[in-house]
Chains A and B, each alone.
Chain A
Amino acid sequence: MSLVFAGVVSHAPGITGRAQRAEPAARDRFYAALDRLRLEMEETRPDALIVVGAEHFANFFMNNMPSLCIGMSDHYEGPIEDEQWLAIKRRRIPGNAALSRVLIERVMQSCDVAYAEEWKFDHGIMVPLHFLTPRYDLPVIPVNINCQGPPLIPLHRAWAFGKALRDACDAIPERIALVGTGGISHWPATPDSGKINVEWDQQFLQRFLANDRTALLGYTDAQTHREAGQGGFEIRTFLSVAAATEGQTGQLYCYEPIPIFAVGCTVARMTVA
C-alpha cells in the first residue's frame, strides 16, 4: 500500500540500562509517550517496521563504513551489548528479506545504498524495539545512516535518502511503518555525558515538527558539533523521516531532558499523507 506511519524516538542505552537512576516522573512520562506511539503504530496495522538508526560500530566500522545501509535478512539478533548492561535480553528479531530486497532496489533508483544480510542490532535499534514492538512480532527492516564520525553523509543526501525511502514504500503493496531514532543534542560516552542543550533541542524540534526543509538543511556539522555535541550528528535520522513525510507536520509526544539517559528523551509522530 504505502507508508502508513512515521515517527521518531530516542535510543540512548541508559533508557533501559540505567532506568532505575532516572527521575521517576520524567522517565515515566517518556515511557508513556513511547507506549502511545506503539499503540498508534499498531492501529495503522503495519506489515513491517523500518527503523532508521545510527548504530555505534556494532556492524559497521572504519574499515568499510557505508554512509547508508539497509538490512536484507529474514532475521537479525540483538542486543550485541552485554544483556545486563543494556537490560534487554538477547534474542532473534524477525525481518523480511524479500521485502527488504524490493525496497532496496527501489531506493537504488535514486540513491546508492549498501545492503547487509547479517546485522547484530545494538542499543540504537534494540531500545526503540523494546518499547515499540515488545512482542517482537513485527518484521523489522533496519537502516543505518553513519552518524558516528566524519566523513558523514551531507544533510541534503540524508534528506534525499528519506525521499527515496518514501518513494520505495509507496511503490509496494505492503503497509510500512517508519521510525527514525537518534539523539538531538548530546555528548554520549564522554565526560560530558548528561549535558543536554535544551534550547538547541527545542529549536531543532520546532523545525522538525514544522517539517521546515530549508531550516533543517541549514545546519552544518561544525555548528552541530559545537552546540549539540558529536551525538548531534544523529539528526540525520530525523531528517530522513522529515523527508519521507515532506509537506506534512508532526506532533511532539514527549521531550524530557533526562541526564542519566544522556539525552533529551524525544517521542514524536509525523503525519503521513
Chain B
Amino acid sequence: MKSVFEITKGMTPVDTSYCPGCSHGIAHRLIMEVLDERGELGNTIGVVPIGCSINAHHFMNVDMCESTHGRAPAIASGIRRVHPDKVVFTYQGDGDLASIGAGEILHAAHRGEKFTTFFINNAIYGMTGGQMAPTTLIGQRATTCVDGRTVEQAGLPLKMCEILAAVPCAVYVERVMLNNPANVRKAKKAVQTALDIQKAGLGFTFVEFLSACPTNWGLAPADALKWVETEMASYYPIGNFRKPEGY
C-alpha cells in the first residue's frame, strides 16, 4: 500500500507539553517538516529560548541547546562561527525576543548573521503566567495590566518585523499567522524561503508567526484563533517586509 501521509521525522515521538490550542505545535511541525523534506535534520543546530518553548528541544529532532533569556541570537552567532556549513536557527517567543533580547536580535540582524530566527508572537508572556509583553495589544488584559494595556502606561506594542526590515542586513523578513490551514500553508512557504536564503548565505532571515495563547488570553482555542485574525493581524499586518531579488 502506498503511504499518503507520514509524520515528519523532524518531530520526536512524544507528546508536547503545550496547552490545547497553543500555536507552538504547528510552528514546530512546520519548521521540522521543511528541514526533513530538505534532508537537513542531521545537519541542523537549533537554539531554544526561555519561555514555554524552552521545551522545544524535547520535540524537535535535531541537535539543540537552551539559551539564557533573550540571548539566543548571540548563541546562534557563536554556533555559526564554529559551523559555517550547518543550518542554524533560533526559536524565540515575544517576551524573550522583543523584551529582554531586543538588543541581541537587533545586532544579529545588523551583522547579517547567516541563521534564521523563528519568532512566535502571542502578545503575552506564556510560561510565567500571562504578564504583559512589549507585543501585548492596547486594551489587552495581562496579569501586569489587569485593566488592559494603555499607551500611557507602556507605550504602543513593538512591531519586530517593521523594526528589523529597517536593518540593512536583515535580508528576509516576513510575518505569517497560524490561524487557519491556508495561512499555515503560507507560513510553511515562509519557512522554506527563509531556510533557502540562509543556505544561500545572503544574510539574516526572520519569520514572525502570529500565534494563539488561549490559556493566558482566557479564550477558548477557536476564539483564540479568531482573536489572532481580528485583533493581532490588524495591528501586526501579515506579509513580506523584505526579501532578496529572486525569492
Q: Do A and B bind each other?
A: no
B residues neighboring A (CB under 8 Å): none
Residues of A within 8 A of B (CB): none
